[in-house]
Amino acid sequence: MSGLMHNCQQTLLSALLPQDCQLCASPSGDDLLCPACAAELPRLPDPACPRCALPTPTGETCGRCQRHLPHFDRLIACYPYSFPVDRLIQRLKYGHQLALTAWFGQQLAAACATLTFDRIVPMPLHLGRLAERGFNQATEISRTLARERAMTIDNGCCERVRATTPQEGLTLRERRRNLRNAFACNSALNGEHVLLVDDVVTTGASVNECARTLRLHGASEITVLTVARTLLA
């Protein structure tokens, strides 16, 4: 509890005091990144698959999505998961630098500015992982987005009911098998467009299984919105 209070205090101080850039430590005023570092952030390749956001030669649906159509309709990512975005996400998740969540949320809001949707659902963590970390990073980065859209975050819609073995080192098929029935939905989503928010998408297996569960409960459209996307999935 004391650690969580310390993180909240640090977040409040960051909001009130002039800041240094998270990447180069030069003064950045009210922003987490200075203009120079923000301008140098990596960009996603274009064109890309309209379904999973992986690069394709002419913007066509990639072969993997053609063979195994995802349960979500589209994936929108702000950045590739590469330096220095990966460092910022790791500072949030493992360094508990919650001041980063507002900046991530601003990037998400800009990325989905033209979309209309009915519900914001953060990618759920299993209770064991939530207790270990102390917060769900997907929930935290959704807060700024929800405020800008005058919406609330639906944390009760979906939960992770089964702890799974670490995904690292598993093939895509093994990841899918590992995640089968790992999620449960507690809401009727009849005809709704659900925005499923996560911090990082690697192979897409986790968000796809979560989207499958949301589909079973009536979601008619699902957009996955993530801060970063691994391009070698």
Structural contact between residues 65 and 52, judged by C-beta atoms closer than 8 angstroms: yes
Cα 120 to Cα 158, 170, 215: the distances in Å are 11, 29, 15
pLDDT at res. 6: 47
Go through the chain and tell me how many residues it has: 233
List, for residues 202-233, the tens digit of each pLDDT value. 999 999 999 999 999 999 999 999 999 999 75
Q: What is the pLDDT of residue 119?
A: 98
Give the chain's domain count.
2
Confidence of residue 3 (pLDDT cuts 50, 70, 90): very low
17 and 73 both lie in a single domain: no
The whole model's pTM is what? Answer: 0.89
Rounded distance between C-alpha atoms, residue 86 and residue 70, angstroms: 25
pLDDT band at 30, cuts 50/70/90? confident
70 and 26 in one domain? no
pLDDT value of residue 163: 85
**Per-residue confidence at 15, pLDDT binned at 50, 70, 90?**
low
Q: How far, in Å, CA of 64 to CA of 79, rounded?
A: 21
51 and 137 fall within a common domain: yes
Residue 48 and residue 142 in one domain: yes
SS3 3: helix
pLDDT band at residue 156 under the 50/70/90 scheme: very high
Q: Work out the angle at residue 96's Cα, subtended by the Cα atoms of residues 29 and 233, and round it to the nearest 5 degrees.
A: 100
- Is residue 6 located within the same domain as residue 94? no
What pLDDT is recorded for position 147? 97
pLDDT at residue 1 is higher than 60:
no
**Model pLDDT for residues 171-181, shown as the tens digit of each residue:** 778 888 889 99
Same domain, 118 and 159: yes
- The domain spanning residue 150 has which CATH number? 3.40.50.2020
139 & 213 share domain: yes
pLDDT digits (tens, 9 = 90+) for 129-148: 999 999 999 999 999 999 99
Judgement on whether residues 106 and 132 belong to the same structural domain of the protein: yes
Residues 4 and 111 in one domain: no
- pLDDT of residue 167 exceeding 80, the answer is no
Could you tell me the pLDDT band of residue 17, with boundaries at 50, 70 and 90? low
Domain encompassing residue 204: 42-229
- Residue 193 structure tokens: 């467009």
